[in-house]
Amino acid sequence: MSNVVETVKQVVEPILENHEFYLFDVEFVKENKSWYLRVYIDKKGGITIDDCVMVSDELSEKLDAMDPDPIPQAYFLEVSSPGAERPLRNDEELNQAIGEYIHVSLYKNLNGSKTFEGTLKSLNDDVLTLQNDKWGKQDTLEIPRNLIAKSRLAIQF
């Protein structure tokens, strides 16, 4: 199945570049008796439903025109945004999120908590700095990177 994912990545990348979108992820999975090809795309400012429809149409056309068919079994194609609270999986995605409100989960307690939310102010090899005016006098927190289990964008309420 990794061949399907790699092929789809190669086909979809030029489509996304033409529209100044970027590829977040591709997955090809079987759920119950059906196969799903899911393509997650994004752009600065966020993806719209119309963007997803456009990429779905273009990708479907390209895949259907390929011979031999890279996906011989029947499948459902889904093109969508990775979501408002998408994971931040690597340094590149964290750097793109500087200035954004994020949620951070830790492997062990720091200042009595294993989760924090705030605006990502900075990031280096050793420390991620969050700011949150709800924390009182000390409105910034430096979190050692080796304590971070997961991070994701968050919606601020």
Cβ of 156: how many Cβ atoms within 10 Å? Answer: 10
pTM, full prediction: 0.78
Intervals of CATH 2.30.30.180 along the chain: 87-153
Cβ of 141: how many Cβ atoms within 10 Å? Answer: 19
To which CATH superfamily is domain 2-80 assigned? RimP-like superfamily, N-terminal (3.30.300.70)
Q: Which two tokens stand for residue 32?
A: 């119950």
pLDDT at 1: 57
What mean pLDDT is predicted for residues 135-141?
A: 75
- Tens digits of per-residue pLDDT, 88-120? 999 999 998 999 999 999 999 998 999 999 999
Domain covering 87-153 assigned CATH 3.40.630.10 in the classification: no
Cα(127)–Cα(146) distance, rounded to whole angstroms?
Answer: 8
- Tens digits of per-residue pLDDT, 53-77? 999 999 999 999 998 888 989 999 9
Do the beta carbons of residue 122 and residue 129 sit within 8 Å? yes
pLDDT at 135: 63
